[in-house]
């Protein structure tokens, strides 16, 4: 829609009002809002639709000050931008200056620029143009003023005629060679050089000063020269002036050169003052004389030298300030030292400043009625004064205006501005060092309102977030807007809703109820836009990272599982460590991202920190943090100290070591017995991890050293350093040895033994065991006593198995242990003297007997009666022993009883067997003599099951059982019993029985069986005692179903795979496969015999790609046949060129030519012709065994095979050796001399056709490098030898 712009420019200073059209340009920037008075500048957005707007002038290129040395140097220019293009004018020294009216000047004026320069050819007329120039650029919106530019004139420096200077001084004296550059307004650059234009080498002894002079701290003979030349360089005029060379004569001293203390050469005296302006450079010199050359150092007397703005250079002779500031003002001192003394010089540096801006006014756009504040603040030394101008005219020269106020700080305030206040305001800041100027545009304009935000936008947020709905508007004055929501008239009544001044509507802590359509409208217009608010579920982290404790070198795994709104795309998971993003490192494998997991490998100290998981969606972000704490075994405790020693105790304290981020759970106190031969650390006590001391209980007569180990969740620390030694005093033993007993094994001997006491229980020196013993009966109270150092102690000649009271007591030099209690022991036992009496055997059944006997006299046992042993020996079956004279033992059985038993029932004997029985008495020493043997026979019993059972089905309703008799018949077999029944689910089918009365029969056939059922068969043996246990077998009869059916054939290239299904019960059928090759017209062939139970057969040795007829026959009957075709392709054999007539004729011609060549060879040989052959010197060799040179054959060398005039070669006289005659379409043909008279002709068969040979290199004998590709470069050749 159309927009209009209204603007009036009123009279400010000397300017009249103008109407400003519109321009589509972006103007300037927002500055700031002053608190009082208020200020609102206008910034036209780039998307505000406006057709035109004018632009005030702005100086873009300032005129520059210049010193004119030649007519070409006088150029003064000024450039400015603006719309319409600005008009330029100049002032000189404050007065109007029109260079276009001066005949000595020429003007160059283009749009946006203005320049003038001289047309004079001499310098004299240019002096009148010296002065201060100012450029003014004006259009209808105001006038911009440039900075002041100064124009000076000067003549280029020239050299005056000089006399040759010669300086003479003694060795060791100081010297100054003066340069005296020509006077000029330019600062010269001095170069001291010799006649070869090499710089004079500067050092601590030789230094060039800023005044151009060359200073020698002391002279040496090397300084004696006549070409010290001062070269003066002026950069502005690009001039170098060379002064007359100076001769320096150094005369050697007649005496020893005396050292001199330092003295100042430049500057002189002890103090100097320097002035500098802020931002400039300043150099302080300290050039000194002395012998030896002094060293120079610098310091600031009232502070520290600035590290960033000061540099010490030129062998410490110069202190240079760059970009000097007010803080650099103060006192500085240089100190020169040598072996003779020192000298100092103090520099007072005073820093002032030309004006510089601290707050510069900014150009802005303003709406009518606003208050404008132009802040202009500057600083400098001395403080500058602030003045204002309007369009280049001083504010004091304009008409007074009550709306205009100038503050004490220099700010200019314009209240209730109108279109007539549009102008360019100049702020000047001046002090004695200069003036700075700033142009500020005040542009008062009115623009119609527009809504800049797009209509129909959708804003998507999650619950709990802050929603910002944009309604960006622009206009001058600023438009006012209102927000509304459908079905909610009082939108602003909600405290969560807050409209911003820029038009944005903020809704805090959004809920699902806030979703909907919102409308923004500019008041008093029909301009509006709508926005939709969409509220999604908040992203929630369900499984946040945890605080992990990780050992060094191991991996840490963080998991970050989150739940996001289903309308959102899968989130991005960003991991950070201590705020820094983490990226997967493929080369180092440090960080690996696997779905929601972060794996940190090889954790080290630098990996510790807080790890944050950020789940980022397109609308929100959730984050949670975990951490990695590196844990390790704790450091060992330190500073072990012993205190509070007591009778058997001491207190040990320590200082805990670093727990490595895992609290100490407990401390382990260990000790080392210094008196022990084995230095082993043993655990003494465990202490809680929060304690740092322990009271230790100790043993007497020991030398202790202690160490402490800390334990945390990771593991044990290294042991601490051992404590100092601690010794406990000796005491009497606290206890006696334990487990005192008799271990007597030999008769008439008492062996007293005990458990040796730990050495730490000796409690003192001289430790021994006191052994005491006495008989229980008949000896009275008298104790026998001995002392010994180790167990056991043996007492002899005391009878067998006698009872004694024994005891052992610990004693040392300090006393004896407590009184021990006696224990009963016996002397050694002997074997019993007698056998059991009245041993009887009673048969209870075929496998069980009862044995009885009388108790033995205890006196005859000669020891502790342990019981009786019954020895049974089986001599075999009763049948087995019939008719034999002797019985040989087969098996033996020993049954032990208790000492108080007088009978024992023994079972599990073999029925129908012959046994012998004896009985003995036994103690720990052994068995006594056996009683007299008692023989008995067991009765007949039921037999064991038959050894094996095998089923065989001769027909579909018959089953034959084959078996072997029982291994243990347990009597005389009477026959067998066969039982069988059908196997059904109910397991209640009737049992059928067949009795076999012949015990020598080992098979039986059952008939009339059901072919479709399975049976369970039972077979038992029978004796007179009854039936034995059965052997059981399950099976079914075999079915007669004929040859296989459903045959599948799968042909290959030279074989056929034949397969068919098989069934378990089907009887095996033998068949054969006959096959006939229909393509070959041969005879039928037959395979080997095949069993139907195989299920697979492979027919081999068939022809590829052939038709076959297969027949399957069994018992001379064909039961199946089929046709098959083997795989493969038929190769068509074409007649080769070897059978062609042309090839046969060609070969015949080659053979004929070779025969002719052989005849010529014989002729030459008869004439004595010689050939120089390289291989002749090495003796004749087989042609196939000749060495090849560079993988070739038949190679000639001009140097080795020179032909002579008297011995012409064959190829020199005959064309038979020519290339044409020897190229018979062969791959190669080579002349090889095998002796002095005749060459050997070799040829090889062609490897390719003639068409391909044409493209190959020459293969004649004279191109020996052309090798046939067959046989890897070795031709298939035939040698024709003489």
pLDDT of residue 38: 39
Q: Kindly state the average pLDDT of the residues 989-999.
A: 90
pLDDT of residue 1116: 86
Q: Is the pLDDT of residue 930 over 60?
A: yes
Cα–Cα distance measured from residue 768 to residue 671, given in angstroms and rounded to the nearest whole number: 26
Distances (CA, A) of 1120 to 286, 409, 1070, 1111: 126, 124, 14, 6
Confidence of residue 69 (pLDDT cuts 50, 70, 90): confident
Q: Is the pLDDT of residue 595 over 50?
A: yes
CB 1038, CB 952: distance < 8 Å = no
**pLDDT > 70: percent of the chain:** 85
Cα–Cα distance measured from residue 806 to residue 816, given in angstroms and rounded to the nearest whole number: 17
Cα–Cα distance measured from residue 827 to residue 747, given in angstroms and rounded to the nearest whole number: 7
Could you tell me the sign of the dihedral formed by the alpha carbons of 1097, 1098, 1102, 1106, in that order?
Answer: positive
pLDDT of residue 889: 58
State which H helix or E strand residue 267 sits in: none
Which pTM was predicted? 0.43
In sequence order, what DSSP letters do the residues of 777-842 get, joined into one string? SSSTTPPEEEEESSS-EEEESS-SS-EEEEEEEEEETTEE-PPPPPEEEE-B----S---EEEEEE
- The DSSP symbol for 399 reads P
Identify which has the larger pLDDT, 135 or 41.
Answer: 135
Cα–Cα distance measured from residue 454 to residue 1116, given in angstroms and rounded to the nearest whole number: 99
pLDDT of residue 397: 84
Please state, rounded to an integer, the average pLDDT across all residues of the chain.
83
Q: In what order do the strands lie in the sheet with 55-61?
A: 55-61, 75-83, 113-118, 105-110
Which token pair is 921? Answer: 């008495």
List pLDDT tens digits, range 127-159.
888 999 999 999 989 999 999 999 998 888 888
Q: Is the pLDDT of residue 1158 over 60?
A: yes
List pLDDT tens digits, range 734-774.
999 999 999 888 888 989 999 999 888 899 999 999 999 98
Confidence of residue 1145 (pLDDT cuts 50, 70, 90): confident
**Collapsing DSSP states into helix, strand and coil, what is residue 719?**
coil
pLDDT of residue 1139: 55
pLDDT of residue 1220: 38
Which token pair is 439? Answer: 């142009």
Q: Kindly state the average pLDDT of the residues 894-919.
A: 92
Q: Is the pLDDT of residue 1241 over 60?
A: no
Q: Is the pLDDT of residue 1159 over 80?
A: yes
Cα–Cα distance measured from residue 1220 to residue 517, given in angstroms and rounded to the nearest whole number: 103
Q: Is the pLDDT of residue 831 over 60?
A: yes
Q: Kindly state the average pLDDT of the residues 269-279.
A: 94
Distances (CA, A) of 531 to 455, 458, 508, 516: 7, 6, 17, 8
Cα–Cα distance measured from residue 1088 to residue 21, given in angstroms and rounded to the nearest whole number: 116
Confidence of residue 492 (pLDDT cuts 50, 70, 90): confident
Q: Is the pLDDT of residue 162 over 90?
A: no
Cβ partners under 8 Å of residue 1016, min gap 6: 980, 981, 983, 1032, 1033, 1034
List pLDDT tens digits, range 1165-1195.
765 444 343 333 343 333 333 333 333 333 3
Q: Kindly state the average pLDDT of the residues 1058-1067.
A: 85
Cα–Cα distance measured from residue 532 to residue 458, given in angstroms and rounded to the nearest whole number: 5
Q: In what order do the strands lie in the sheet with 580-581?
A: 547-550, 621-630, 609-616, 572-577, 580-581
Lowest mean pLDDT among 423-427, 779-783, 898-902: 779-783
**pLDDT > 90: percent of the chain:** 51
Task: Count CB-CB contacts under 10 A for residue 758.
Answer: 8
Q: Is the pLDDT of residue 1257 over 80?
A: no
List pLDDT tens digits, range 115-125.
888 888 888 88
pLDDT of residue 163: 85
Residue 534 φ then ψ, to 5°: -110, 125
State which H helix or E strand residue 505 sits in: strand 505-507
Q: Kindly state the average pLDDT of the residues 669-694.
A: 91
Distances (CA, A) of 813 to 758, 766, 816: 17, 5, 8
Confidence of residue 788 (pLDDT cuts 50, 70, 90): very high
3-state SS of 863-916 is: CCCCEEEEEEEEEEECCCCCCCCCCCCCEEEEEECCCCCCEEEECCCCCCEEEE
Q: Is the pLDDT of residue 923 over 70?
A: yes
State which H helix or E strand residue 1148 sits in: helix 1141-1166
State which H helix or E strand residue 1222 sits in: helix 1219-1222
Closest CA to 143 of 248, 14, 258: 14
Cα–Cα distance measured from residue 445 to residue 866, given in angstroms and rounded to the nearest whole number: 132
pLDDT of residue 1207: 39
pLDDT of residue 507: 92
Q: Is the pLDDT of residue 885 over 90?
A: no
Q: Kindly state the average pLDDT of the residues 1124-1139.
A: 64
Residue entry with tokens 């391909």: 1252
pLDDT of residue 399: 83
Q: Is the pLDDT of residue 7 over 60?
A: no
Cα–Cα distance measured from residue 1207 to residue 900, given in angstroms and rounded to the nearest whole number: 134
State which H helix or E strand residue 1154 sits in: helix 1141-1166
In sequence order, what DSSP letters do the residues of 68-132 get, joined into one string? ESSGGG-EEEEEEEEESPPEEEEEETTEEE-GGG-TTEEEEEETTEEEEEE--SSSGGGGGG-EE
CB 1227, CB 1246: distance < 8 Å = yes
pLDDT of residue 1138: 57
Cβ partners under 8 Å of residue 747, min gap 6: 800, 827, 828, 829, 830, 862, 925
Beta bridge partners of 600: 556, 591
How buried is 368 (Cβ within 10 angstroms: 0-12 exposed, 13-18 middle, 19+ buried)?
middle
Strand ranges (E), 301-422? 310-313, 318-321, 330-338, 341-359, 364-366, 372-374, 377-381, 385-390, 393-394, 404-406, 412-414
Which token pair is 139? Answer: 């259009």
Q: Kindly state the average pLDDT of the residues 658-669.
A: 93
Cβ partners under 8 Å of residue 915, min gap 6: 872, 873, 874, 875, 909, 935, 936, 937, 938
Own/partner pairs for 834-838, CB < 8 Å, 24+ apart? Answer: 834/860, 834/921, 834/928, 834/929, 835/919, 835/920, 835/921, 835/928, 835/929, 835/930, 835/931, 836/868, 836/919, 836/920, 836/921, 836/931, 837/931
Which token pair is 453? Answer: 């935000």
List pLDDT tens digits, range 1013-1037.
889 999 999 998 899 999 999 888 8
Which token pair is 168? Answer: 């003479």
Q: What angle do CA 382, 385, 390 make, to 5 degrees?
A: 155
Length of the chain: 1282
Q: Is the pLDDT of residue 985 over 50?
A: yes
Beta bridge partners of 42: 365
Which token pair is 1260? Answer: 């004649």
List pLDDT tens digits, range 1068-1116.
888 999 998 888 777 888 899 998 888 899 998 888 988 889 999 998 8
Distances (CA, A) of 1187 to 1190, 1274, 1278: 10, 12, 17
Q: Is the pLDDT of residue 578 over 50?
A: yes
């Amino acid at each position: 829609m159309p927009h209009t712009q209204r603007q009036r420019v009123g009279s400010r200073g000397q300017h009249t009002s103008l109407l400003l059209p519109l321009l589509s340009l972006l103007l300037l920037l927002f500055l700031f809002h002053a608190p009082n008075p208020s200020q609102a500048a206008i910034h036209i957005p780039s998307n505000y639709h406006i057709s035109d707007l004018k632009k005030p002038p702005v100086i873009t290129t300032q005129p520059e000050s210049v010193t004119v040395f030649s007519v070409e140097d006088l150029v003064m220019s000024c450039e400015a931008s603006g719309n319409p293009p600005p008009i330029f004018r100049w002032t000189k020294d404050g007065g109007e200056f029109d260079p276009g009216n001066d005949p000595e000047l020429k003007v160059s004026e283009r749009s946006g620029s203005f320049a003038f320069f001289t047309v004079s050819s001499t310098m004299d007329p240019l002096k009148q143009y010296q002065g201060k120039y100012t450029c003014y650029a004006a259009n209808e919106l105001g006038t911009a003023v440039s900075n002041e530019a100064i124009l000076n004139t000067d003549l280029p420096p020239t050299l005056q005629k000089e006399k040759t200077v010669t300086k003479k001084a003694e060795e060791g004296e100081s010297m100054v060679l003066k340069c005296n550059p020509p006077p000029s307004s330019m600062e010269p650059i001095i170069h001291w050089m010799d006649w070869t234009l090499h710089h004079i080498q500067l050092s601590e002894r030789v230094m060039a000063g800023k005044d151009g002079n060359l200073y020698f701290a002391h002279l040496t003979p090397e300084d004696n020269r006549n070409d010290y030349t001062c070269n003066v360089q002026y950069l502005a005029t690009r001039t170098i002036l060379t002064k007359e060379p100076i001769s320096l004569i150094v005369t050697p001293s007649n005496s020893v050169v005396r050292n001199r203390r330092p003295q100042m050469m430049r500057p002189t005296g002890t103090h100097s003052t320097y002035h500098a302006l802020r931002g400039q450079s300043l150099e302080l010199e300290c050039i000194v004389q002395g012998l030896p050359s002094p060293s120079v150092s610098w310091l600031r007397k009232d502070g520290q030298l600035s590290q960033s703005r000061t540099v010490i250079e030129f062998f410490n002779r110069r202190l240079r300030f760059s970009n000097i500031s007010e803080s650099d003002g103060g006192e500085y001192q240089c100190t020169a030292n040598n072996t003779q003394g020192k000298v100092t010089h103090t520099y007072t540096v005073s820093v002032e400043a030309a004006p510089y801006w601290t707050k510069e006014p900014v150009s802005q756009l303003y709406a009518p009625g606003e208050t404008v504040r132009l802040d202009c603040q500057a600083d400098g030394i001395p403080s500058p004064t602030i003045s204002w101008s309007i369009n280049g005219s001083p504010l004091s020269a304009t008409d007074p205006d009550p709306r205009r106020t100038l503050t004490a700080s220099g700010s200019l305030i314009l209240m209730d501005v109108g279109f007539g206040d549009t102008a360019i305001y100049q702020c000047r800041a001046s002090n004695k060092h200069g003036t700075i100027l700033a142009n500020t545009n005040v542009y008062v304009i009115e623009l119609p309102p527009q809504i800049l935000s797009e209509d129909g936008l959708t804003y998507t947020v999650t619950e709990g977030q802050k929603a910002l709905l944009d309604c960006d508007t622009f206009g001058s004055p600023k438009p006012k807007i209102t927000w509304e929501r459908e079905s909610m008239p009082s939108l602003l009544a909600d405290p969560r809703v807050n409209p911003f001044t820029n038009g944005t509507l903020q809704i805090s802590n959004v809920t699902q109820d806030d979703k909907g359509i919102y409308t923004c409208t500019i008041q008093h217009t029909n301009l509006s836009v709508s926005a939709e608010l969409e509220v999604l579920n908040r992203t929630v982290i369900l499984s946040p990272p945890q605080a992990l404790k990780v050992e060094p070198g191991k991996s840490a795994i963080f998991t970050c599982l989150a739940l996001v709104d289903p309308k959102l795309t899968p989130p991005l998971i960003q991991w950070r460590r201590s705020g820094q993003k983490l990226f997967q490192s493929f080369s180092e494998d440090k960080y690996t991202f696997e779905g929601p997991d972060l794996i940190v490998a090889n954790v080290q100290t630098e990996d510790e920190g807080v790890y944050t998981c950020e789940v980022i969606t397109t609308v929100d972000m959730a984050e949670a943090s975990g951490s990695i704490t590196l844990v390790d075994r704790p450091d060992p405790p330190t500073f072990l100290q012993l205190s509070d020693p007591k009778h058997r105790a001491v207190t040990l304290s320590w200082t805990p070591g670093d727990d490595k981020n895992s609290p100490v759970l407990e401390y382990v106190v260990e000790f080392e017995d210094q008196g022990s031969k084995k230095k082993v650390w043993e655990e003494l006590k465990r202490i809680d991890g929060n304690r740092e001391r322990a009271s230790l209980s100790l043993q007497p007569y020991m030398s202790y050293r202690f160490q402490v180990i800390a334990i945390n969740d990771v593991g044990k620390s290294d042991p601490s350093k051992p404590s100092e030694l601690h010794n406990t005093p000796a005491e009497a033993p606290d206890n006696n040895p334990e487990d005192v007993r008799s271990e007597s094994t030999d008769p008439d001997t008492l062996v007293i033994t005990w458990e040796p006491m730990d050495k730490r229980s000796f409690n003192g020196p001289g430790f021994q065991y006191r052994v005491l013993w006495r008989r229980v009966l008949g000896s009275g109270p008298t104790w026998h006593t001995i002392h010994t150092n180790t167990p056991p102690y043996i007492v002899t000649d005391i009878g067998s198995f006698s009872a004694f009271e024994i005891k052992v007591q610990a004693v040392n030099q300090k006393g004896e242990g407590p009184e021990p209690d006696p224990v009963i022991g016996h002397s050694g036992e002997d074997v019993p003297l007698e056998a059991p009496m009245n041993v009887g055997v009673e048969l209870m059944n075929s496998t069980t007997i009862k044995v009885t006997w009388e108790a033995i006299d205890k006196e005859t046992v000669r020891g502790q009666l342990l019981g009786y042993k019954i020895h049974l020996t089986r001599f075999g079956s009763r049948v087995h022993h019939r008719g034999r004279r002797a019985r040989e033992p087969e098996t033996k059985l020993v049954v032990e009883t208790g000492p108080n038993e007088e009978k024992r029932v023994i079972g599990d004997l073999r029925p129908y067997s012959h046994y012998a029985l004896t009985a003995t008495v036994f103690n720990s020493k052994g068995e006594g003599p056996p009683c007299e043997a008692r023989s008995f026979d067991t009765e007949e019993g039921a037999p064991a099951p038959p050894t094996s059972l095998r089923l065989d089905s001769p027909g579909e309703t018959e089953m034959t059982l084959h078996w072997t008799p029982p291994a243990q018949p347990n009597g005389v077999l009477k026959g067998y019993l066969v039982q069988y029944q059908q196997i059904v689910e109910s397991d209640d089918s009737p049992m059928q029985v067949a009795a076999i009365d012949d015990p020598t029969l080992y098979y039986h056939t059952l008939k009339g069986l059901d072919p479709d059922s399975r049976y369970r068969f039972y077979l038992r043996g029978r004796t007179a005692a009854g039936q034995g246990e059965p052997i059981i077998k399950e099976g079914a009869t075999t079915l007669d179903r004929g040859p296989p059916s459903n045959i599948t054939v799968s042909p290959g290239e030279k074989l056929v795979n034949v397969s068919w299904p098989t069934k378990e019960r089907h009887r095996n059928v033998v068949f054969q496969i006959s096959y006939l090759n229909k393509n070959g017209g041969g005879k039928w062939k037959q395979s080997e015999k095949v069993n139907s139970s195989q299920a697979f057969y492979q027919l081999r040795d068939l022809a590829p790609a052939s038709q076959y007829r297969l027949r399957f026959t069994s018992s001379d009957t064909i039961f199946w046949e089929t046709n098959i075709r083997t795989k493969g392709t038929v190769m068509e054999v074409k007649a080769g060129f070897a059978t062609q007539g042309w090839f046969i004729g060609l070969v015949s011609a080659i053979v004929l030519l070779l025969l002719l060549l052989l005849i010529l060879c014989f002729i030459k040989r008869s004439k004595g012709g010689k050939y120089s052959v390289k291989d002749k010197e090495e003796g004749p060799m087989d042609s196939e065994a000749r060495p090849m040179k560079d993988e070739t054959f038949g190679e000639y060398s001009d140097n080795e095979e020179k032909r002579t005039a008297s011995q012409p070669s064959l190829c020199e006289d005959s064309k038979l050796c020519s290339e044409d005659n020897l190229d018979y379409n062969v791959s190669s043909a080579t002349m090889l001399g095998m002796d002095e008279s005749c060459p050997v002709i070799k040829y090889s068969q062609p490897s390719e056709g003639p068409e391909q040979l044409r493209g190959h290199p020459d293969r004649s004998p004279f191109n020996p490098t052309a090798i046939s590709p067959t046989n890897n470069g070795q031709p298939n050749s035939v040698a024709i030898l003489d």
